[in-house]
Amino acid sequence: MSVSKSSKASNVKGMSLTSKGGKNKSLEEALYKEDKLAPVLLNNKQSIAESIAVSPPIMQHPLMLVIAEKVSASLTRDGMVDSFEIKGSLTLTALNDTVANCSVQLKIGESGDFVFNTHPKVNKSLYDKSQLLQLKDTSKGFPSERPVGILRWSYASTNDELVPLTINCWPEEESRGQMNVSIEYTLEKKIDLHDVRIHIPLGVSDNLSIVSVDGSYKHHQQNNELIWELQLIDKSNPSGSLEFTISQKNSDAFFPITVQFSSQQLFCNVDILSVTAVDSGKPIQYGSSKNLSTDEYFIN
C-alpha cells in the first residue's frame, strides 16, 4: 500500500581505416575496441534510470552533444564525508558520416582539481592547447548514428567543499516502543536540485504518523520505506525538515538513507562554443544538453 500526502534518418556506412595487416576495418570498429569511444551498451545489471541516461538523444539536429555528470557520495549520519566523487562525460551523436567529420570547440571555466581525459584517438595536444576536440586522423570522422564518448573528467575527495546536499537524521526513542524521527536537509551549494527523493528505511511495515513535512511523502509499507519528495530545492528553500513517529526500537533501522536528485547545473563549467566541419571549417548545426544526476548517494 502506498500513502501520499503533500504539505505545501539516413543510413550511411562508416569510412574505412587500414590496419597493419592490410585489412580494412571501419573506424567505428577500431574505436569500438578502445575504451570509452565505443557505442554505449547496457548490461543486465544496469538500472532503468541508467538506461535512460545513456539512451541516444532524439535527433532534432544533425549533431547532438550531451554533457552529463554523475555524483556519488558516502556521508556519515554525523555529517562527515567518507567519500565524494564526480564523473563527467561529453557524448557526441552524429546523424551521418558527413557531420561526424567535425571539430568541437569547448570553453571550460575554472576546473580546480578536476582531471580531464580525451579519448586516445582524439588529438590531445590540440585539446590541451585550445580545448578543441578533433580526431588525430582528420580524414576520418567520429562514428555516426550512435552516442560516442569523446571527453571525460573526474573529481574525488573526502572533504565537503563540493557536497551539494547534506542530510541529518535524529531518531529518538520515546515511551511504549515508539521512535520519533526528525530529518533535515541542507542545501550546501548554490545549485538548483530537481526531483529530490530521500529514501528512508523503516525496518517495520507498521503505520507511521507524520508530525510535519516540507514537501510531500510516500509510505511504501510493502518495502518498509518512507520516501520524502521535493520537486525543487533552491535558494528559496535551502533547508527543510520531516518529522514522524513509528513503532521501532532500533535507531539503526533508519539507515542507510539514499538520496536521488537531478540538476541542469554542473560542478565543472563545460560549455560548447561551436562545432565546425574539419574539411571546410563551416559551422555545423548542433543541439546540446546538460544534466547532473546522482549515482550512489548515501547517508550511513
Provide the CATH topology of domain 25-159+267-299. Answer: Immunoglobulin-like (2.60.40)
Q: What distance in Å separates the CA atoms of residue 276 and residue 176, rounded to the nearest whole number? A: 71
Omega before 39 cis (within 30°)?
Answer: no
- Please compute, for residue 70, the number of CA atoms within 13 A of its CA located in the half-sphere on the CB side: 12
User: In the chain, what are the domain boundaries?
Assistant: 25-159+267-299, 163-261
pLDDT digits (tens, 9 = 90+) for 19-71: 334 433 444 454 444 444 444 433 444 443 443 344 554 567 899 999 999 99
Q: Are 144 and 14 in contact (CB under 8 A)?
A: yes
pLDDT at res. 107: 96
Compute the average pLDDT of residues 2-12.
Answer: 42
Is residue 260 classed as helix, strand or coil in its secondary structure?
strand
Whether the pLDDT of residue 140 is over 70: the answer is yes
Average pLDDT, the chain: 85
pLDDT at res. 284: 97
Q: What distance in Å separates the CA atoms of residue 19 and residue 269, rounded to the nearest whole number? A: 38
pLDDT digits (tens, 9 = 90+) for 182-197: 999 999 999 999 999 9
Whether the pLDDT of residue 85 is over 70: the answer is yes
How large a percentage of the chain has pLDDT more than 70? 80
Q: What is the DSSP letter of 239?
A: E
Radius of gyration in angstroms for the set of CA atoms belonging to the chain, rounded to a whole number: 24
pLDDT at res. 64: 97
Q: What distance in Å separates the CA atoms of residue 284 and residue 97, rounded to the nearest whole number? A: 13
Looking at per-residue pLDDT, the higher value among 291 and 174 belongs to 291
Domain 163-261 CATH (choose: 1.10.730.10, 1.20.120.530, 2.60.40.1170, 2.60.40.3470): 2.60.40.1170
pLDDT digits (tens, 9 = 90+) for 234-292: 999 999 999 999 999 999 999 999 999 999 999 999 999 999 999 999 999 999 999 99
Q: What distance in Å separates the CA atoms of residue 202 and residue 106, rounded to the nearest whole number? A: 47
pLDDT at res. 161: 87
